[in-house]
Amino acid sequence: MGAYEYGSQLAAFPLLINIVGSGTVARDPDLTEYPYRSEVVLTATAAPGWVFAGWSGDATGADNSVTVEILGATNVTATFTTNSTYIPLLMR
């Protein structure tokens, strides 16, 4: 028995982003799969009337930007909550 080799290509893994609430998440770089040990910067942007609450899953913290190291299939959730102080201009 010997060592198992992947061949000439490095293993690549998906990065699944789940969003709870209303907002978006940008990836840098934006790829469909990422090589093992690569780093991806995720930036959360809340929709009007919402605020970014934090990351969960394979990333944690409350800063709107986080760096994730890809060590396998990666799942990250960005949670946004309603901003109770937001009043649309039409309702003022």
Q: What is the pLDDT of residues 65-77, one digit of tens each?
A: 999 999 999 999 9
As for how many domains the chain has, the answer is: 1
Q: How far is CA 39 from CA 12, 34, 45, in A?
A: 12, 8, 20
In angstroms, the CA 11 to CA 51 distance is 36
pLDDT one-digit tens code per residue, 29-64:
999 999 999 999 999 999 999 999 999 999 999 999
92 pLDDT above the threshold of 50: no
In a domain, 1, yes or no: no
- Indicate whether 28 pLDDT > 90: yes
In a domain, 4, yes or no: no
* Residue 5: inside a domain: no
Whole-model pTM: value is 0.81
Q: Which domain holds residue 17?
A: 12-84
Q: Residues 50, 54, 59, 65: is their CA dihedral positive or negative?
A: positive
